[in-house]
């Protein structure tokens, strides 16, 4: 081996190292604690480490979540995307190995005897030719183009798997939220039905008082309007309930139909039993952040693939086989053939196409880095929003419960005053209307409270185990 060859070997290794990707996770600002976290500081435990079954104590809801994860079309599409990405990894890895192909053929041709070049006397115008060949082709990955393309494909596979987890977590949260909406509507229908029964009793009382001259016709009309208003509200609640069932059926991947219920809204118990944990662990738990990082890793590898286009591509090609005009004598040793030769391809001028490819890959890497940083910031915001929602909705529920109790006492007092002739029916009418609105609002606050817990669990990356 001469000195030039000895120099080229370390030079090739050095150049290959220059274009090798050096990935570093982008720097992001991580707070010491979540904003709105009232739990003990420095506690490494996290609500997001619980499973769905440990967070939700309603077996009917858990069964619906399991059904949705098995049958929902978005989840199945995401699973198919994972299979597609896995096949791309196989394709990228296969490029690093030699490719061997076999070829067999038979050719029969006839030449015009008196054509532009007349055939010699006795030379046959018709001839046949048979060949059997095996060809090998192998690209030498001196600059890491194939290796980095393989790394990019693996990163895309991991990103697709994380995207599937994002779809599954989002779906589980949507099922839980829709379920709590159904239970809220069920409770509102129950409250409205009780109110209609109570208002019908009041209507009968007013009718008797009008017949006996103790009340005016206006009181009767107001009592009838009160009953009809509640009836209209009940009809609208039934519409919303059926539409929510249709929405749930779509999430479950089945035709619209009734949805089984479990615990009522008043029986739910999904209060957070663990603090949110340390903010630093959120980067490893949330699948959307892990997906963004894998996409960044893949974009980083693609930059190296684009840079490798500046260097020559060297391939080894070889073929061997047999060729003969007579089929019976084709496999004889003197009819054997072989060809071997390395092939190099070095770009000289392509009007800046290679450099533009590198710049485009670098721009995509920058976009992926910014997307990663945005995903991290968005995650911290979602946790902070969920924490304040859980805290304030718990306070709002207590306040609303106190308001309902006060309005119930006011309705009882207004009823007694009306029956005793001390006040007009308008006073009772106003108190009863306020009570119904407050009870419906309390049911909605309870629903929002349980939904906020689900949102906090999702924001913390729950369900990733």
Average pLDDT of the segment spanning 88-94: 92
Nearest to 278 by CA among 24, 49, 25: 49
pLDDT of residue 374: 95
The CATH classification number of 16-96+143-311+356-459 equals 1.20.1600.10
Residue that wins the pLDDT comparison between 268 and 79: 79
Average pLDDT of the segment spanning 188-202: 93
Structure tokens at 447: 């629903």
User: Strand ranges (DSSP E) for 249-396?
Assistant: 313-324, 336-345
pLDDT of residue 327: 62
Q: For the ranges 216-225, 298-307, 371-380, which has the lowest average pLDDT?
A: 216-225
Question: In 3-state terms, the chain is what percent helix, strand and coil (to 5)?
Answer: 65, 10, 25
pLDDT at 196 over 90: yes
Average pLDDT of the segment spanning 68-81: 94
pLDDT of residue 10: 52
Average pLDDT of the segment spanning 49-57: 84
Q: At 319, give phi and psi (nearest 5°).
A: -150, 150
pLDDT of residue 9: 45
pLDDT at 228 over 90: yes
Helix 59-71 to helix 217-252 angle (10° resolution) is 50
pLDDT of residue 304: 94
Report CA 435 to chain centroid distance, whole Å.
42
Structure tokens at 427: 């006073």
pLDDT at 1 over 50: no
Confidence of residue 39 (pLDDT cuts 50, 70, 90): low
pLDDT of residue 417: 87
pLDDT at 439 over 60: yes
Residues 265-300 pLDDT 10s: 888 887 777 788 888 888 888 999 999 999 999 999
pLDDT of residue 191: 95
Percent of the chain predicted with pLDDT > 90: 52
Instruction: Give the C-alpha separation, 465 to 461, whole Å.
Output: 10
pLDDT at 73 over 60: yes
Nearest to 320 by CA among 309, 331, 312: 331
Confidence of residue 38 (pLDDT cuts 50, 70, 90): low
Average pLDDT of the segment spanning 222-244: 94
Average pLDDT of the segment spanning 356-371: 95
Output DSSP code: residue 85: H
**With 0-12 CB in 10 A as exposed, 13-18 as middle and 19+ as buried, what is 183?**
buried
Instruction: Give the C-alpha separation, 50 to 160, whole Å.
Output: 24
Instruction: Give the C-alpha separation, 194 to 196, whole Å.
Output: 5
Task: Identify any residues that bridge with 320 across adjacent strands, giving them in sequence order.
Answer: 134, 338
222 with 425: CB under 8 angstroms? Answer: yes
pLDDT at 208 over 60: yes
Task: Quickly tell me which residue has 């119904």 as its tokens.
Answer: 436
Task: Quickly tell me which residue has 């006040």 as its tokens.
Answer: 423
pLDDT of residue 273: 74
Domain ranges of the chain: 16-96+143-311+356-459
The secondary structure of 34-62 as a DSSP string is -TT--S-TT----GGGS-HHHH---HHHH
Residues 135-148 pLDDT 10s: 889 989 889 999 99
Instruction: Give the C-alpha separation, 32 to 213, whole Å.
Output: 73
Report CA 365 to chain centroid distance, whole Å.
22
Average pLDDT of the segment spanning 346-365: 91
CA atoms within 13 A on the CB side of 133: 15
Residues 147-190 pLDDT 10s: 999 999 999 999 999 999 999 999 999 999 999 999 999 999 99
Instruction: Give the C-alpha separation, 328 to 204, whole Å.
Output: 112
pLDDT of residue 111: 76
User: Strand ranges (DSSP E) for 373-423?
Assistant: none
Residues 245-269 pLDDT 10s: 999 999 999 999 999 999 888 888 8
Q: Measuring CA to CA, how many Å separate 464 from each of 50, 131, 428?
A: 9, 58, 54
Percent of the chain predicted with pLDDT > 70: 90
pLDDT of residue 18: 54
pLDDT of residue 379: 94
CB count, 10 Å around CB of 357?
A: 18
Task: Please tell me the total number of residues recorded for the chain in this structure.
Answer: 465
Average pLDDT of the segment spanning 24-48: 77
pLDDT of residue 269: 81
**Average pLDDT value over all residues in the chain:** 87
Residue that wins the pLDDT comparison between 105 and 392: 392
pLDDT at 14 over 70: no
pLDDT at 8 over 50: no
Task: Identify any residues that bridge with 343 across adjacent strands, giving them in sequence order.
Answer: 315
Residue that wins the pLDDT comparison between 120 and 446: 446
């Amino acid at each position: 081996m001469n000195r030039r060859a000895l120099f080229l070997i370390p030079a090739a290794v050095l150049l290959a190292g220059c274009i090798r990707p050096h990935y570093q996770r982008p720097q992001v600002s991580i707070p010491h604690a979540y904003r709105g976290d009232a739990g003990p500081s420095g506690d490494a435990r996290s609500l997001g480490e619980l499973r769905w079954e440990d967070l939700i104590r309603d077996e009917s809801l858990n069964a619906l979540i399991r059904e949705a994860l098995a049958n929902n079309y978005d989840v199945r599409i995401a699973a198919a995307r994972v299979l597609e990405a896995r096949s791309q990894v196989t394709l990228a890895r296969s490029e690093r190995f030699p490719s061997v192909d076999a070829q067999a053929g038979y050719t029969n041709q006839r030449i015009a005897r008196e054509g532009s070049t007349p055939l010699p006397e006795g030379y046959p115008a018709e001839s046949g030719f048979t060949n059997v060949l095996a060809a090998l082709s192998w690209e030498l990955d001196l600059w890491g183009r194939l290796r980095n393309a393989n790394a990019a494909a693996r990163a895309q596979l991991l990103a697709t798997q994380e995207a599937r987890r994002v779809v599954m977590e989002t779906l589980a949260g949507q099922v839980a939220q829709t379920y709590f909406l159904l239970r809220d509507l069920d409770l509102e229908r129950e409250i409205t039905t009780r109110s209609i029964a109570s208002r019908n009793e009041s209507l009968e009382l007013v009718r008797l008082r009008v017949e006996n001259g103790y009340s005016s016709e206006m009181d009767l009309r107001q009592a009838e309007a009160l009953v009809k208003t509640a009836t209209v509200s009940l009809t609208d609640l039934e519409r919303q309930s059926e539409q929510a069932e249709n929405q749930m059926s779509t999430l479950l991947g089945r035709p619209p139909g009734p949805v089984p219920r479990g615990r009522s809204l008043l029986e739910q118990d999904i209060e957070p039993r663990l603090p949110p944990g340390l903010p630093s662990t959120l980067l490893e738990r949330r699948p959307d952040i892990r997906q963004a990082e894998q996409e960044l890793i893949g974009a980083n590898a693609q930059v190296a693939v684009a840079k490798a286009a500046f260097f020559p591509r060297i391939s080894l090609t070889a073929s061997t086989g047999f060729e003969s005009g007579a089929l019976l004598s084709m496999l004889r040793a003197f009819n054997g053939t072989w060809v071997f030769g390395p092939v190099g391809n070095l770009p000289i001028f392509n009007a800046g196409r290679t450099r533009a490819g590198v710049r485009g890959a670098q721009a995509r890497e920058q976009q992926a880095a910014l997307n990663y940083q945005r995903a991290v910031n968005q995650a911290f915001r979602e946790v902070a929003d969920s924490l304040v929602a859980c805290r304030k909705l718990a306070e709002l529920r207590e306040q609303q419960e106190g308001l309902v109790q006060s309005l119930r006492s006011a309705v009882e007092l207004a009823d007694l005053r009306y029956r005793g002739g001390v006040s007009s029916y308008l006073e009772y009418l106003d108190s009863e209307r306020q009570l119904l609105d407050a009870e419906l609002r309390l049911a909605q606050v309870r629903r929002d409270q349980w939904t906020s817990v689900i949102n906090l669990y999702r924001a913390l990356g729950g369900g990733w185990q």
